[in-house]
Structure 1
Amino acid sequence: MPTPETTAPPEQAVDRPPFILYLDGPRYAEALHMLTTWVHHLLLPVYARETTSTTPWCPRWWLHPEAVAQLYGLWMAWQELTGPQAGMCGPANWHRDYLAPVMGALRDPSGPFAGCKVGGHRAKEVPRIDPL
């Protein structure tokens, strides 16, 4: 079965990295390592606010696939909108269009970190799916 990575136009496959959810094995591990470096050394020190019951954050965020997907998209947008080719409004657009919505969704009390506490992770159950 073709994946988005194998069906992408050749110029897109070369110019842009595939989205993290399409990766596995060593490629996933490398992408997660790059994301973790950015999250731990830039995103959280600059943009994270205090963790409370109304603004949760999981200390093991990488165990939440939704968080990984959202943060990876945020990181990809960061690279595009804060680099030398981004133009003067790039960073402002990143803050408005990407940072605020993603952090709001992740830190929502009913979001992916619901039930996680400052000192611990709580695994989530996938919703039940009835067979066809």
Structure 2
Amino acid sequence: MPDSFPAAPGAGGVPRELLEDVEDLKAQVRALTSQLQVRQAPPTQESPAPGADQDEQDGPAGEEEGWQYPPFLFLLDGPQYDDELRALIEWVESVLVPGYLAEPSADARWCHLWFEHPVALARLHALWLAWQELTDPATCGYTGPSTWHRDHYDPCMRELRASTGPFQGCTKGEHRIEHRMPGPVPSAWNSQET
């Protein structure tokens, strides 16, 4: 062992950098093992008969029968939609707003009725789905939160809070946010002559 590496105290002379690398590798192995166990879980439906045609196994248009789409808000109906929306509102109001959003301004807009803006609703739900996945060390290791900030939070907030974003019609006045939705787009077909 070269003398230029400082040994970690009590680690039998093993360099501290090497111990950190080993811990990082252990976290990656745990994450990969977790993903492998999910992929190797037995299917919930009966397996097709041996020798069955692959197209018959996959179902129409090559889709797998057991495949499920993520619970994207606009794909849900009825009570599922209501439950997902309630959970999203709770996350935005208890985590995102107090922890991340500064005072709204002309350069960083926000609307307290954000859930009435379909574009904001869609973007914030997608951001929340990514947050749920990337803040669980068992599935993404310890770099998940950094990835979430870089790849999801920052681009989402740039789009939402821009002066041309979905909150562009919402203004701040008298220390509270006034909500204004844009009016209907004018049309030559239903304009009234004066």
Q: Tell me the TM-score normalised to structure 1 length.
A: 0.82
Higher helix share: 1
RMSD: 2.1
Quickly say closer, same or farther: Cα 1:18–1:111, change in 2 above 3 A. Answer: same
Quickly say closer, same or farther: Cα 1:26–1:126, change in 2 above 3 A. Answer: farther
Q: Does 1:12 align with 2:70?
A: no
Residue of structure 1 in register with 2:121 after alignment: 68
Structure 1 residues not aligned, in runs of 5+ = 1-6
Q: Size of the alignment, in residue pairs?
A: 121
Q: Tell me the TM-score normalised to structure 2 length.
A: 0.57
Residue of structure 1 in register with 2:12 after alignment: none
Instruction: Report % sequence identity.
Output: 42
Q: Please, which moves more after superposition, 119-128 or 17-26?
A: 119-128
Quickly say closer, same or farther: Cα 1:24–1:117, change in 2 above 3 A. Answer: farther
Structure 2 residues not aligned, in runs of 5+ = 1-60, 188-194
User: Distance in 2 between the 1:10 and 1:79 partners?
Assistant: 25
Shift of 1:53: 1.4
1:105 to 151, 154, 159: 159
Q: Which has the larger radius of gyration?
A: 2
2:78 to 25, 46, 60: 25
Structure number with higher relative contact order (C-alpha < 8 Å, ≥ 6 residues apart): 1
Shift of 1:90: 0.6
User: Distance in 2 between the 1:109 and 1:101 partners?
Assistant: 14
